[in-house]
């Protein structure tokens, strides 16, 4: 249990703010924060009321508050309040952290969740190279990992790009073809940023990536592409994928990486994206 006391100090000509500043500069606030049982002693100002300052102070128990009220500090505070001619309004709350109903807990966003966007690394890998990179990227980005699996896996013969009649050659010759995916379990709705990885096929993303994008709602999401290849860059991958997502999704061109790219290098890349 802890007790929170909100005190609104209101004055004129910026006096409430001056009062708070003097409390801090004179070291009084530091002294209070060092008192036994004090958890918090912070001033805030409402956006639309420059003549009011809100003090939020929090204590471990009523005993701690009683000791504070009996300390000489209270005289210092009272004198300052008189000096600045402030009026006070007080609210008092007792914590009930154990009593928050589950249905309300979802509205209470922890500090870290608010700051960090939730990231997913989703990848397709026909022969394992992109899979290795995706795993490192997920570690670098602190992201979850999801494999885009074809309903029918590609065999070596399917991947023979020198054979005009191989499955991959036939599929990539028809950009409207959508190879089926094995599942739609990626929970895209839970993420803000989705890294989408693939091997470059014929200078672009394989069309199974279009199938994946079309299977979910990417409205408002940021999609960052990444790939491995025998040497080609991202080419027109983003252009070929854009029609498969909502207009409100952002697709970042991203980057082609060597299979051996380290977690540290990937970390620097992720940081440079600002996502």
Ligand X SMILES: Cc1cc2nc3c(=O)[nH]c(=O)nc-3n(C[C@H](O)[C@H](O)[C@H](O)COP(=O)(O)O)c2cc1C
Helix H or strand E encompassing 222? strand 222-228
Q: Rounded to the nearest whole angstrom, what is the least distance from the CB of residue 245 to ligand X in the complex?
A: 22
The encoded tokens of residue 203 equal: 């200078």
Within 232-271, which residues bind ligand X (CB under 6 A)?
Answer: 232
Nearer to ligand X, 61 or 127 (CB): 127
Alpha helix (H) residue ranges in the chain = 15-25, 28-33, 62-70, 73-83, 102-105, 111-115, 129-141, 167-172, 208-214, 237-241, 263-273
Q: Rounded to the nearest whole angstrom, what is the least distance from the CB of residue 254 to ligand X in the complex?
A: 15
Q: Rounded to the nearest whole angstrom, what is the least distance from the CB of residue 178 to ligand X in the complex?
A: 16
Nearer to ligand X, 37 or 132 (CB): 132
Q: Rounded to the nearest whole angstrom, what is the least distance from the CB of residue 230 to ligand X in the complex?
A: 3
Sketch the per residue contact string, 182 through 211, with ligand X: x for CB under 6 A, - otherwise: -----------------xxxxx--------
Residue 231 touches ligand X, criterion: CB under 6 A: yes
Q: How distant, in Å, are the alpha carbons of 21, 54, 132, 142, 228 from that of 135?
A: 51, 48, 5, 11, 13
- Contacts with ligand X by CB under 6 A: the residue count is 20
Backbone angles phi and psi of 161, in degrees to 5: -75, -10
DSSP state of 106: T
151/179 Cα distance (integer angstroms) = 8
Nearer to ligand X, 139 or 158 (CB): 158
Residue 41 touches ligand X, criterion: CB under 6 A: no
Sketch the per residue contact string, 109 through 148, with ligand X: x for CB under 6 A, - otherwise: ----------------xxxxxxx-----------------
54/62 Cα distance (integer angstroms) = 21
Binding site for ligand X (CB under 6 A): 125-131, 159, 161, 168, 199-203, 228-232
């Amino acid at each position: 249990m802890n007790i929170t006391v909100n005190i609104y100090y209101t004055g004129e000509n910026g006096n409430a703010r001056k009062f708070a500043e003097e409390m801090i500069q004179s070291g009084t606030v530091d002294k209070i924060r060092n008192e036994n049982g004090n958890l918090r002693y912070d001033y805030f100002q409402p956006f639309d009321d420059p003549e009011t300052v809100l003090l939020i102070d929090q204590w471990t128990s009523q005993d701690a508050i009683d000791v504070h009220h009996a300390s000489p500090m209270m005289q210092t505070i009272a004198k300052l309040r008189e000096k600045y001619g402030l009026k006070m309004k007080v609210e008092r709350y007792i914590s009930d952290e154990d009593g928050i109903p589950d249905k309300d807990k979802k509205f209470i966003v922890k500090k870290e969740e608010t700051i960090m966007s939730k990231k997913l690394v989703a990848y397709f890998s026909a022969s394992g190279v992109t899979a290795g990179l995706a795993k490192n990227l997920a570690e670098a980005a602190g992201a979850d990992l999801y494999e885009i699996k074809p309903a029918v896996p590609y065999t070596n013969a399917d991947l023979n790009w020198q054979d005009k009649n191989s499955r991959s050659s036939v599929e990539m010759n028809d950009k409207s073809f959508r190879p089926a995916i094995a599942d739609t379990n990626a929970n895209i709705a839970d993420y803000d940023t989705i890294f989408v990885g693939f091997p470059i096929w014929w200078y672009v993303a394989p069309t199974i990536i279009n199938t994946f994008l079309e299977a979910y709602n990417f409205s408002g999401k940021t999609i960052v592409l990444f790939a491995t290849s025998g040497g080609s860059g991202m080419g027109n991958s983003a252009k070929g994928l854009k029609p498969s997502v909502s207009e409100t999704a952002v697709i970042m061109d991203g980057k082609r990486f060597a299979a051996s790219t380290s977690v540290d290098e990937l970390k620097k890349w992720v940081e440079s994206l600002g996502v």
